[in-house]
Amino acid sequence: MTRRPSILLLLLLPYAAPLIARVGGGESYSGGGSSSSGGGGDGGGGAEIIFYIIRFLFWLTVNYPAIGIPVDIVVIIAVIKYLKSRKSAKETTVFSAAKTTSPARQGSRDINALARFDPNFSEAVFTDFCYSLYARAHQARGEGKLENLSPYLSPAARATLKQLGGGGVGGIVIGSFTIADFRGLESPTVTATIDFEANYTETGSQPMRRFYVRERWTLERQRDILSPTPAHAKAEHCPSCGAALQTRSDGTCAHCGTRVVDGSFNWFVRSIEVRERSDRPPSLLGHAAERGTESPTRYQHGFQEKFPAFLARHPEFDAQAFDQRVRLIATELQSAWTARDWERARAFETDALFSMHRYWIDEYKRQRLVNVVDDFTIHRVEPVKVMSDTFYDALTVRVYASGNDYTVDEGGNVASGSKSAVRTWTEYWTLIRGRAAKKTITTTRNCPNCGAELKVSETGICAFCGGKVTSGDFDWVLSRIEQDESYSG
């Protein structure tokens, strides 16, 4: 079995990078695919020793019960304690294994728990915020204007960025975004660790240089504050008063005079660690084993009650139309991927996901490769999870698909994969829709707001009605794709 290096994989955001890394032979990009054993490690030699110990205890108990029985009791207690600790050790092993192989969104389940303290918290909005801040931060360091972002970036974080140099930074594209860790819910301050993979061009030097980078950002904020609404969530507003971000040289807001130096009002970047910065592009060829396709579906805990409850709250929800929309999106993404034309997919995904897909499609163009999936077929779309926050409903489905997947160079020669071998795979797709969206589901290539034929700008704005169709304000849009092995439910 080889791994399809296809759209549904590569374009698959955060997950794509480590796969490519594995494929490319463990250079840069992401933790690499080691770990992931989990169980089965200690058998062999240990079993033999245990056998002799039990035989000795049996002999001792029969021949010298006064010594044997107390020893038995001690051993039994020790064994129970060992098994208990082993169980928790195993849980952590599985967790850390999942973490290395699936950076997708470990810990994000926890970050959703923040909604218990902050009813405005929305993972989708938080993701947008991180994207926006990342791009702004690198742009600002290119312009030598990092101080303007001091309400969001600590002196240490700004210093790290400043060291990278100025002179212009452009073409900032995020290829992967991972909530690697989230903690602190039991304390007044919560901390989120975010791993970015991105590329950008530094225009200050001649010739201009393109960099592929991995960065770890540590963000913190007060647990008990209220998140801004989606409209104010893009790091372009004063965290304190919400006016357009305009920071005076002493770090105070030009409007409200507040000097923001921590997470008292919103997320605040405590530190940035540049883990990799290289001008070597990621490899787009090669294979890794397809894993998890046969795994049983991971349903949300309580899904049997939660999904009917969602349907009861939304009597107008047309499950068949939703199914059709997922298939439409899948087909459009696949076509866009092979044509290396992201405009075509633009209307169907959130800004964040679009950015990730563009990262990979640009890379295919740069490396003069085309990934093709012939006979692309969606077999089944199965709802597995439903979530709602203040601003969005989110539905996750498991998508079953197959096709002949291969990559060709621009001369049409197969560079990897196979034209004849049929591959099957499944993925978990999460779609979001604004809570205030109108309720009909569009299943054709038409604007979900005005009904005109789809024609959207790079920012997702309909050319006819001016509606931002990628916001989820009008219809379901794709916000996340996760592989079987990375999907954590």
Q: Which positions touch Zn ion (CB under 5 A)?
A: 238, 240-241, 253, 255-256, 447, 449-450, 462, 464-465
**For Zn ion, the closer CB: 409 or 453:** 453
Token pair belonging to 370:
């085309």
* CA–CA distance, 483 with 489 (Å, rounded to integer): 11
* CA–CA distance, 429 with 173 (Å, rounded to integer): 22
Token pair belonging to 446:
């038409």
**For Zn ion, the closer CB: 211 or 464:** 464
* CA–CA distance, 356 with 358 (Å, rounded to integer): 5
Tell the residue number behind the tokens 């090669």, with chain if given. Answer: 286
Closest CB 464 distance from Zn ion, rounded Å: 5
Q: End-to-end CA distance of the chain, in Å?
A: 26
Tell the residue number behind the tokens 């931060």, with chain if given. Answer: 137
**For Zn ion, the closer CB: 117 or 464:** 464
**For Zn ion, the closer CB: 253 or 477:** 253
Closest CA to 347 of 466, 233, 448, 441: 448
**For Zn ion, the closer CB: 253 or 481:** 253
* CA–CA distance, 208 with 116 (Å, rounded to integer): 47
**For Zn ion, the closer CB: 164 or 450:** 450
Closest CA to 240 of 224, 269, 264, 205: 264
Cα-based angle 392, 395, 397 (whole degrees, multiple of 5): 160
Determine the longest span between alpha carbons in the chain, in angstroms.
93
**For Zn ion, the closer CB: 400 or 464:** 464
At residue 150, φ and ψ (nearest 5 deg) are: -60, -25
Token pair belonging to 276:
């990799």
* CA–CA distance, 30 with 7 (Å, rounded to integer): 19
Q: Kindly compute the dihedral angle of the four CA atoms of residues 153, 363, 325, 431, in this order, to the nearest 10 degrees.
A: -20
Cis peptide before 207 (omega within 30 of 0): yes
Closest CB 152 distance from Zn ion, rounded Å: 12
Which helix (DSSP H) or strand (DSSP E) does residue 383 occupy?
strand 369-388
**For Zn ion, the closer CB: 200 or 265:** 265
Closest CB 456 distance from Zn ion, rounded Å: 8
Closest CB 434 distance from Zn ion, rounded Å: 15
Closest CB 447 distance from Zn ion, rounded Å: 3
Closest CB 337 distance from Zn ion, rounded Å: 24
**For Zn ion, the closer CB: 67 or 241:** 241
Which helix (DSSP H) or strand (DSSP E) does residue 295 occupy?
none
Closest CB 438 distance from Zn ion, rounded Å: 12
**For Zn ion, the closer CB: 198 or 238:** 238
Closest CB 162 distance from Zn ion, rounded Å: 24
Token pair belonging to 125:
């909005």
Closest CB 432 distance from Zn ion, rounded Å: 19
Closest CB 256 distance from Zn ion, rounded Å: 3
